[in-house]
Amino acid sequence: MRKKRLISRRQAILTGLTSAGALLLSGCLKKAPPTYGNILRMGDDLTYIAQRGLLSQRALAMEYQKSDITSFPVTDIGDPADPASKNAYSKDYQQLQQNNYKDFALSVEGCVAKPRKYSVDDLKKLGARTQITRHTCEEGWSAIAEWTGVPLSAVLRDAGILQTARFVCFYGFDKYGESIDMLDAFHPQTILAHTMNGEDLPARNGAPLRLRVETQLGYKNVKFLQRIVVTDKFTDPGPDIKSGWSWYTGI
Q: Which stretches of the chain bind ligand MTE, using CB under 6 A?
A: 72, 75, 77, 137, 172, 174, 176, 204-206, 218-219, 221-224
Residues touching Mo ion, count (CB under 5 A)? 4
Segment interacting with Mo ion, rule: CB under 5 A, options 39-47, 110-118, 135-143, 184-192: 135-143
Q: Is 172 a binder of Mo ion (CB under 5 A)? A: no
Segment interacting with Mo ion, rule: CB under 5 A, options 49-57, 63-71, 184-192, 219-227: 219-227
Judged by beta carbon, residue 222 or residue 228, the one nearer ligand MTE is 222
**Given candidates 64, 219, 234, 245, which one binds Mo ion under the rule CB under 5 A?**
219
Segment interacting with Mo ion, rule: CB under 5 A, options 16-24, 45-53, 99-107, 129-137: 129-137
Alpha carbon 35 to chain centroid distance? 17
Considering CB distances under 5 to 8 angstroms, the limit depending on partner class, which of Mo ion, ligand MTE, none binds residue 221? ligand MTE
**Given candidates 110, 151, 208, 218, which one binds Mo ion under the rule CB under 5 A?**
218
Alpha helices in 77-222 (DSSP H): 91-98, 120-125, 152-158, 182-185
Q: Give the separation between CA 23 and CA 196, rounded to whole angstroms.
A: 42
What is the DSSP-derived secondary structure letter of residue 134?
Answer: E
Q: Give the separation between CA 171 and CA 183, rounded to whole angstroms.
A: 19
Contact by Cβ (8 Å): 173, 90? yes
**Given candidates 69, 105, 126, 137, which one binds Mo ion under the rule CB under 5 A?**
137
What is the DSSP-derived secondary structure letter of residue 250?
Answer: B
Judged by beta carbon, residue 176 or residue 247, the one nearer ligand MTE is 176
Alpha helices in the chain (DSSP H): 2-28, 42-54, 91-98, 120-125, 152-158, 182-185
Q: What are phi and psi of 90, to 5 degrees?
A: -135, 120
Judged by beta carbon, residue 218 or residue 238, the one nearer Mo ion is 218
Judged by beta carbon, residue 77 or residue 165, the one nearer ligand MTE is 77
Q: Give the separation between CA 181 and CA 171, rounded to whole angstroms.
A: 15
Q: Give the separation between CA 61 and CA 75, rounded to whole angstroms.
A: 24
Q: Is 151 a binder of Mo ion (CB under 5 A)? A: no
Segment interacting with Mo ion, rule: CB under 5 A, options 55-63, 86-94, 212-220, 239-247: 212-220
Judged by beta carbon, residue 121 or residue 139, the one nearer ligand MTE is 139
Q: Cα angle at 225 between 38 and 34, to 5 degrees? A: 20
Nearest distance from residue 46's CB to ligand MTE, in Å?
Answer: 23
CA-wise closest residue to 225 among 172, 178, 179:
172
Considering CB distances under 5 to 8 angstroms, the limit depending on partner class, which of Mo ion, ligand MTE, none binds residue 205? ligand MTE
Interaction site with Mo ion (CB under 5 A): 137-138, 218-219
